[in-house]
Structure 1
Amino acid sequence: MRFINRLLIVGALYLMLPGISQASYQCGIRKHSFVQLVHHGWTVEEGQWPWHVAIFHKRSKSEKYACGGTLLDENHVLTAAHCVVNRNTGYAISANNLKLHFGQQNLSTVSANVQIRDVSKVQIHPDHSSHRNDIAILLMRLPVRYTDYVIPICIDQNADIDLRNLEGERGWITGWGTTQTGSISDVLHTASLPVVSYLQCFNDHETVFGNLLNENVFCAGDRNGTSPGTGDSGGGMYFSDGDRWVLRGIVSFAKADELKNEVDTSKFVIFVNVQRFLTWIREIIVDNKPNSTETSKRISERECERFKGLARKRRNKICDNSRYPHTVSIIFSDNEVKCNGILVNENHVLTACHCRRDNMGETPSKVQIDAYGTVGILKVICHPHHKERITYHDIAVITLDTTIELSSNILPVCLASNWTENLYDTLLQTGYGVSIETGIKKFIESEDNQVITKERCDEIISRNRRLPDGIIPGQLCAINTDQLRTSTSGSSGSPLQSVNTRSCMYTAVGITSSGNQDHERIRESNQTVVDIYTRISHYLDWIEQMVWSDEPPVTTTTARIRTTETTTNNIVPFHTDFVFPDD
């Protein structure tokens, strides 16, 4: 990978969960979180890109690094077709001449975190030729074991095939490609590159790119020396999709520097548009598992994907949906707003259990949805372990008496799982409250909430009748320095959430339990406010049982593969320049 002269190495913040089973790892969610502050290249820490794979070519008894790849599941790696095609014959390289390294950070050493696998099958896209349909899947002889350093990437099946909405967004690449000295780097590097329009790419070099640009590829690059280099082929281009990382591209080819016979880093780079090949990828993976079915996402995840289809973004890339399309206010029988709720689908709202009645015995009668109006409440079901005047298990599901018609302005929230909530640093709290001074209802927005550890929270608060056992696993504590929120009441049931500006979606992490007039807020040093939230991930199984039915079955299909290969002048694939072994 080629970089500009200044190389910045960024420190890492580690979140480690040792000894977790294979099923506990989810695609695109790494166990080590890294602070990403710059757009130019730097050295990768172990576990930073756990889905990146090193592909080696074997010749006699030696191995030589050739390309990168991306782990799709425990058995399959996605890469560029030209990485596994013999350039002399045009046929796929024998699987016996390939070796895969997972969890590797330095090519010169094999640490305890590295797993090595043989390849049993090489499957090239059936329409691959030269630099078109430059995509291939490798099937391993033995599956890898998921660890903090070996985790598969996600592919968003609902992402838009048209990449115009991605233009200007920066994706991340990684690899051991050539450095400025012209040699393969021993150490894995990473950088981010912006996606550019087809017109920009065409104008960059009409002769090279003119006949190769189509809907199956896209262009990216800064044209400042930060670029994939020879040896980076086949590696992925990743984008953050809120709580996880998704694969959108594969490093494919670029214009050659005719004097140096290597990548011209002053030009854009061509990536395979993975979204265009989802059907083929799915067919290959299912075909390689004839006696099994695909693992379905849990129902709340699948519903979140459905809701994403309603979110809209304008051409200026500003989200078109309302500011907080999932936040509702709960109106009691005395016609007063005393709590908030979170819309989770067309018929259900999530709130705090203590909102089922107030101190005067008044109960919720309807919810107010700004873009819709008022809707009657059919029933309120609290978690069975909740007890009166105890803050624990403070969660309830409200069933509405009317099915809401969803839109970009009436949009349910996504629900955090055990593996997604840890990625959020600063969280947003929103809801409707009543000004203590004026008695007027107003919208509350608090942006600077940061989750703290149970230990720190227990140090700050004192055990009392509402918290006899201190903070329990079903709760979260968050600190906030915003003093304006102390002048309102009625924020119970409001969401603590993260915001994904790319998909225009919100993910709820917690439900406000304490912190309003009824449940006292705890102060630290008379400045920092500590609020207690019910932890959504802890109750996700119960929520899904109350709100959704079982998931539908998954169907399977099969496919057959063939391959051809030709050459194109003035184009440089990114693999290293050496003779491939014959089949």
Structure 2
Amino acid sequence: MITGTFYYIPLVLLLLHLLGTVVPRDPLECGRRKVATNELLVNAANSSPGEWPWHAAIYHRTSVTTDSYACGGSLISDQFVLTAAHCVIDSASRNQLGPNRIFIRLGIFDRADPNLRTMQQHSIGKIYKMADFSRNKDDIALLEMKTVAEFNDHVQPICVEAWAVGGYGTVVGWGLTENDELSVVLRKAQMPVISTLSCLRSNRALFGQSLDVGMFCAGYRNGTSVCNGDSGGGMAFSRSGVWFLGGIVSFSQMRGAGDNRCQIDGYGVFTNVSSYLDWIRDTTGLQLRSATRGNLLPRECGINYSNENHRNGREANLLEFPWMAMIFKKEEANDPGKKPNRLGTLINSRYVMTSVWFWHNEDPQIVRLGEYSMKQSEDCTTTDEGKLCAPPTKDYDVERFIRHPSVAIVLLRTASEVQFEEHIQPICLPVTSALKRFQPKRFSVTAWGVQGEFDRLSAITLTDADIRRDCSEEDMICTSRPYCTELHGHPLSAMASYNGWRFVQFGMASYLPNCNTRVRDASNIFDTYINVSSHMEWIAAALEP
């Protein structure tokens, strides 16, 4: 299929990644290796036998006596392999192949010289794909094998659940290498999930008319990406030694007219498996894991010691917004002259939520909690009862980040559990249906710098009249109040009924115009907030204990 001067091509991957430590498991479990492997961290490398025991090789029969390797796939049970829908289409006639034209090999590492002691070959009984499949929509298929796979050291299923795709995943396959040669041994590469905005900016002509809500982009632009030869392979994500299927290789850009090889410095597009869980469950009858893995967001949240409304802005009271977080580069955290890179909110004892489009993972990050005034070593205030001081601030190393694939939400997981105190508490999120539908009449914007001076935490009250209805959509909230702060990630929150009256975060600052621009033309300048309610399913699925 051609789009302008670009082509959709069957894919595979190029270069891939690792992990490994064997954990004994029950045969009914999924996503665990049975063969110990050495942990590497490279852009591209050969894998080792048994390292990816769920990866399947899909072959097309070209005649009674001949066949050819066509695609990759992922074993998700003893009878079903998940792959891309275009992998069951005849490339010449563009018609769906019959089940008798396809077979699967499991437990192989070297395609040219498979180990007959580990290999299993299975014929296909039925093929399932979505009715609306096209090359840029619903590129997913299930292959039901006639015979049951026997689980052993080299054949194991991968886990399937509502996975919050983000961060880094691993793709494996037998596709073109960096030398434009098909690999005979299974290769692996680790690559990041890319935001939809970044993907569109890289090639709007291709991705602008092909990216669907059931897809995401991943890869690098340095040669580590997906490529010709093995569409249908999975993008796997590891959590505590267990591997989960997040995506299926779908398509990438061709190098140009007349050259159907992939462009190695472009991103690849993956079918988002989480978007098709209901279809997978209904088709296979498998009991898939729940989307939220238990609610890890606390009910004791959003406790606020004041509910003052101030249209013109005010300094926050000490201990008033205890969920506010500052995020620094690690080497700058102790520099008193440095402002944080961005702001965020504490949402439970291990996660801070912030907003950023471009995240540099190589920069170690520090989360600071419990801050009030950056110019005071001790935060104190005078009350009718005398001097009141808050406990010292707490800094937490960031263990890893999880980035939403299409909007600028980033979850930061702290390296250790946050200890709640009176000046460090989580904010509530809109977890119930009633909260997601709730439309507050007043919002509170909380940040350092709201009143111009980046010193004390400040707050300003917005009314319904400050919401820009000409801008606001389901995924965003726009406000026109001409306050000034340029640090992304601060919350747009409101008092709501949840386990009593609590502060609930409904928005997170995503786009903030330059302060000088705001002063010159305040009537036409607005701030954009991500609508948190629209992304609660992803946030809940991303959290780990």
TM-score by length of 1: 0.49
The equivalent residue for 2:203 is: 205
Q: Secondary structure at the match of 1:262?
A: strand
> Is contact 2:296-2:348 (8 Å) kept?
no
- CA offsets per residue over residues 434-489 of structure 1, 9 Å max, x none? xxxxxxxxxxxxxxxxxxxxxxxxxxxxxxxxxxxxxxxxxxxxxxxxxxxxxxxx
The one-letter code of the counterpart of 1:134 is D
Quick one: structure 1 residues 272 and 16, their matched pair in 2 at CA, closer, same or farther if it must change by over 3 Å? Answer: closer
Shift of residue 284 of structure 1? 0.9
Instruction: Find the aligned partners of 1:303 and 1:117 in 2 and give their Cα distance.
Output: 31
The equivalent residue for 2:283 is: 284
The equivalent residue for 1:398 is: none
The equivalent residue for 1:307 is: 295
Matched, 1:99 2:103: yes
Quick one: structure 1 residues 220 and 303, their matched pair in 2 at CA, closer, same or farther if it must change by over 3 Å? Answer: closer
**Alignment gaps of 5+ in structure 1:** 287-293, 325-368, 374-405, 410-500, 507-583
Match among 210, 214, 217 for residue 216 of structure 1: 214
Matches within 5 A, 1:58-97: 58-60=61-63, 61-97=65-101
Instruction: Find the aligned partners of 2:225 and 2:260 in 1 and give their Cα distance.
Output: 15
Match among 104, 127, 130 for residue 125 of structure 1: 130
Instruction: Find the aligned partners of 2:292 and 2:132 in 1 and give their Cα distance.
Output: 34
Match among 142, 145, 157 for residue 137 of structure 1: 142
Shift of residue 156 of structure 1? 1.9
The one-letter code of the counterpart of 1:260 is D
Q: Secondary structure at the match of 1:306?
A: coil
Q: Secondary structure at the match of 2:153?
A: coil
> Is contact 1:121-1:139 (8 Å) kept?
yes
Shift of residue 192 of structure 1? 0.8
Matched, 1:191 2:179: no
The equivalent residue for 1:457 is: none
Higher RCO, Cα 8 Å, sep 6+: 1
Instruction: Find the aligned partners of 2:107 and 2:202 in 1 and give their Cα distance.
Output: 36
Shift of residue 175 of structure 1? 0.1
Q: Secondary structure at the match of 1:53?
A: strand
> Is contact 2:178-2:223 (8 Å) kept?
no
Matched, 1:173 2:171: yes
Instruction: Find the aligned partners of 1:29 and 1:317 in 2 and give their Cα distance.
Output: 35
Match among 120, 143, 153 for residue 158 of structure 2: 153
Matched, 1:46 2:49: yes
> Is contact 1:176-1:185 (8 Å) kept?
yes
Quick one: structure 1 residues 316 and 213, their matched pair in 2 at CA, closer, same or farther if it must change by over 3 Å? Answer: farther
Matched, 1:37 2:40: yes
Q: Secondary structure at the match of 2:197?
A: helix
The one-letter code of the counterpart of 1:136 is A
The one-letter code of the counterpart of 2:294 is R
> Is contact 2:23-2:33 (8 Å) kept?
no
The equivalent residue for 1:262 is: 261
Instruction: Find the aligned partners of 1:86 and 1:3 in 2 and give their Cα distance.
Output: 23
Instruction: Find the aligned partners of 2:292 and 2:198 in 1 and give their Cα distance.
Output: 34
Shift of residue 49 of structure 1? 0.8
The equivalent residue for 1:115 is: 120
Instruction: Find the aligned partners of 2:149 and 2:218 in 1 and give their Cα distance.
Output: 31
The one-letter code of the counterpart of 1:246 is F
Quick one: structure 1 residues 503 and 203, their matched pair in 2 at CA, closer, same or farther if it must change by over 3 Å? Answer: closer
The one-letter code of the counterpart of 1:321 is N
The equivalent residue for 1:513 is: none
Instruction: Find the aligned partners of 2:276 and 2:291 in 1 and give their Cα distance.
Output: 23
> Is contact 1:196-1:219 (8 Å) kept?
yes
- CA offsets per residue over residues 167-199 of structure 1, 9 Å max, x none? xx1110000001234332110000011111111
Q: Secondary structure at the match of 2:253?
A: strand
> Is contact 2:248-2:271 (8 Å) kept?
yes
Instruction: Find the aligned partners of 2:203 and 2:28 in 1 and give their Cα distance.
Output: 43
Q: Secondary structure at the match of 2:128?
A: strand
Shift of residue 303 of structure 1? 11
Quick one: structure 1 residues 87 and 317, their matched pair in 2 at CA, closer, same or farther if it must change by over 3 Å? Answer: farther
**Alignment gaps of 5+ in structure 2:** 1-11, 302-322, 326-341, 352-417, 430-539
The equivalent residue for 1:559 is: none
Quick one: structure 1 residues 16 and 121, their matched pair in 2 at CA, closer, same or farther if it must change by over 3 Å? Answer: same
> Is contact 1:172-1:237 (8 Å) kept?
yes
Quick one: structure 1 residues 74 and 323, their matched pair in 2 at CA, closer, same or farther if it must change by over 3 Å? Answer: closer
Matches within 5 A, 1:347-366: none
Count of matched residue pairs: 314
Instruction: Find the aligned partners of 2:291 and 2:41 in 1 and give their Cα distance.
Output: 34
The one-letter code of the counterpart of 1:65 is Y
TM-score by length of 2: 0.52
- CA offsets per residue over residues 348-394 of structure 1, 9 Å max, x none? xxxxxxxxxxxxxxxxxxxxx97599xxxxxxxxxxxxxxxxxxxxx
> Is contact 1:75-1:143 (8 Å) kept?
yes
Shift of residue 62 of structure 1? 1.4
Shift of residue 127 of structure 1? 1.1
Quick one: structure 1 residues 13 and 200, their matched pair in 2 at CA, closer, same or farther if it must change by over 3 Å? Answer: closer
> Is contact 1:25-1:146 (8 Å) kept?
no
Instruction: Find the aligned partners of 2:214 and 2:271 in 1 and give their Cα distance.
Output: 6
Shift of residue 93 of structure 1? 0.5
Quick one: structure 1 residues 304 and 217, their matched pair in 2 at CA, closer, same or farther if it must change by over 3 Å? Answer: closer
Matches within 5 A, 1:531-542: none
Matches within 5 A, 1:475-494: none
The equivalent residue for 1:505 is: 544
Q: Secondary structure at the match of 2:188?
A: strand
Q: Give the RMSD, CA atoms, in angstroms.
A: 3.6
> Is contact 2:35-2:50 (8 Å) kept?
yes
Q: Secondary structure at the match of 1:219?
A: strand
> Is contact 1:85-1:92 (8 Å) kept?
yes
